[in-house]
Chain A
Amino acid sequence: MTRARPMRRVLVANRGEIAVRIIRACRELGLETVQIYSDADRDSLAVRLADRAVCVGPAHSRQSYLNAEFIVSAALTQGADAIHPGYGFLSENAAFAELCESSGIAFVGPPAEAIRKMGDKATARRMAEEAGVPVTPGSAGTLSGAGEAGEIAARLGYPVLLKATAGGGGRGMRVVRDPASLAGQYADASREAAAAFGDGALYVEKYLERVRHIEIQVLSDGETVLHLGERDCSIQRRNQKLLEESPSPALDDGARERIGEAAVRLCRHVGYRSAGTVECIVDAASGAFYFMEMNTRVQVEHPVTELVTGIDIVKEQLLIARGERLSLAQADVRLHGHAIECRINAEDPERGFAPCPGEIRALHFPGGPGIRVDSHLFAGYRIPPYYDSLMAKVIAWGRHRDESLARMRRALAEMRIEGVPTTIPFHERLLGDERFRRGEVHTRFVEDVFMGEA
């Protein structure tokens, strides 16, 4: 499928902790790195660590990290033969992947065609159905209007979920609980989607409550497709993940195998290559799972899977982009122990998780057995106000869930970040919650149950 191609110098088309993560993988593979940066990231850790650095534009990401032509131009002038897009920004932009490839630069990710198929949610649902992967009951494609939504909703039974086909991050999404509010909610969601994504098309599906968000990590070289187990991301707030773990406390080996195989079928069906994630919702009571969407890139929470499988996902992405075959078979993938990740954001949990940029006055990262910290912080670093608030990911590994939770609590108690508010107090309280410790959570747990008790 892919021919081996030379790869010597990789341009990192991202910032923050994931840029540092990519540079680390490149260095271990003996690859040179070119870090792009905006005016606001001149003093970033990634710029310091990379072999070369190129300023591509002003702080505003539309003119820097989202400027496809300038980024490819930087790669060409710096002699880079591959571009790693990280997550966010241009990572799921099929046109960018095409632009890289047509410029003779390897895009470290899936083929543009696979991004296109999975990026449009209505198409992705159809792909899943064709591959025999269960999807939540709902409309076959996009809706013609509120009238059609009403007919399908009546058949599905309320509540239903209206979703933008181009959506993400909860925008263009509405839960509709009764027929009377459908038309108004439809108009709102469509308008929001048109403004955010330039496409107001919606589809409707049955809204399932008290479900878990479980995602399957996949790795494909175009021929061999592996699943690397799941991550349970049910701890979220407004569709933003806060804590992830693997394995899920709610899946047994049989369910894990069934979901994993379904994810592999879907990847084969769309000709997937590189690392990717198939997101599902799982009804813990019945064990039923439904395909939600696929992320065609590396995820923020990938280290959780790396710690339980021992597989370096970012390195594998680079090797696959170089045209190499996976050296593993499914039987070689074994989940060992338990890992959990806490996202430490520059946000104030006391004030609705408001982002708080500022200067890091003092910093101490935890260490010791089973602890990994992925971060771009250093003492004296100024968190710019233009980008996301993720400061660090603390990942704890243990032989079993209890040990990893104990290590995480111990690690967060050691951690010091002075200068900005952090989400550490939120995580400390959550880790002490009896229901969380028993694994009895769902995607609405933080918002509807836990935060209400604060």
Chain B
Amino acid sequence: MKNKDEQLTYEDLLQIVEVIKSSEQFAEFHLKVGDIEIDLRRGGEPRAAPVAGSPAPPAVPRGGQVGAGEPMVQPGAPARASAAPAAPTASEQAWPEGSIVLRSPMVGTFYRAPEPGAAPFAEVGQVVALDATVCIIEVMKLMNSIPAGASGVVTHILVDDAAAVEYGQPLIVLRPH
């Protein structure tokens, strides 16, 4: 860089991000200063849901028990129709930009409430914290509490109570805070 004044600081970068975030008009922002290039995009580009390349939850059984697994949270994007013809997935659709989709980290039975008749962990419109339990997946009589994995407002609950779910199946959609 030739001119010291042209140098971009971390604070500058944060300010730019804040401006873009609070703006209703701009969805994309490009900046080139010297040999530094910044590319900001809001909400994410529509692209195929990262199905095969999704982060693998470490659902390793410990001592014959089922590991709770980690929540699979992914930026919401128009999901590719599942190639599995008979997979019991809820029909996948496009979520609002910026949505976060919580996917099942394991194959099992989905429960919305801690026990039959109890109030559900989460309802549409409810605000949930990152580590709040939003559902239970039962695997061979073992109840695995599934945390939201991101804080936000629940916009969709995609699976009926007590339904069978498979690994990677979208369960709940959140609008992040």
- Give A contacts to B, CB under 8 Å: 37, 39-40, 42-43, 47-48, 50-60, 62-64, 67-70, 72-74, 76-78, 95, 103
Does B66 contact A55, Cβ atoms closer than 8 Å? no
Q: A53 is contacted by which of B52, B64, B85, B138 (Cβ under 8 Å)? A: B85
Q: Contacts A42-B51, A73-B139, A77-B164 hold; do A57 and B107 have CB atoms under 8 A apart?
A: yes
Q: A37 is contacted by which of B64, B84, B139, B164 (Cβ under 8 Å)? A: B84
Does B54 contact A39, Cβ atoms closer than 8 Å? yes
Minimal beta-carbon separation of B5 from chain A (angstroms): 49
Q: How far is the CA of A209 from the CA of B164 in the complex (A)?
A: 55
Chain B interface secondary structure, helix, strand, loop or mixed?
Answer: loop
Question: How many A-B contacts if CB must be within 8 Å?
Answer: 99
Does A67 contact B85, Cβ atoms closer than 8 Å? no
List chain B residues, Cβ under 8 A from A54. Answer: 84, 87-88, 107, 164, 166
Does A63 contact B140, Cβ atoms closer than 8 Å? no
Most buried by A among B59, B83, B84, B164: B84
27 contacts between A and B (CB under 8 A): A39-B56, A42-B52, A42-B84, A48-B85, A51-B86, A52-B86, A53-B86, A54-B164, A54-B166, A55-B87, A55-B107, A55-B168, A57-B59, A57-B106, A58-B54, A58-B167, A63-B58, A63-B60, A69-B65, A69-B66, A69-B140, A70-B59, A72-B140, A73-B107, A73-B109, A77-B108, A95-B64
List chain B residues, Cβ under 8 A from A47. Answer: 83-85
- 6 closest cross-chain pairs (CB), A and B: A77-B164, A58-B56, A52-B86, A53-B84, A55-B166, A73-B139
B116 at the interface (CB under 8 A from A): no
Minimal beta-carbon separation of B31 from chain A (angstroms): 37
New contact pairs (8) apart from A39-B54, A52-B88, CB-CB < 8 Å: A53-B84, A54-B166, A55-B166, A63-B57, A64-B167, A70-B59, A76-B140, A95-B64
Nearest A residue to B106 via CB reads: A70
Does A103 contact B168, Cβ atoms closer than 8 Å? no
Most buried by B among A37, A40, A103: A37
List chain B residues, Cβ under 8 A from A78. Answer: 164
Q: Contacts A53-B86, A56-B167, A58-B57 hold; do A73 and B140 have CB atoms under 8 A apart?
A: yes
Chain B, 58-87, CB within 8 A of any chain A CB? 58-61, 64-66, 82-87
List chain A residues, Cβ under 8 A from B87. Answer: 52-55
List chain A residues, Cβ under 8 A from B142. Answer: 69
Does B56 contact A74, Cβ atoms closer than 8 Å? no
- For B21-59 the 0/1 string (1 means CB < 8 A from A) is 000000000000000000000000000000110101111
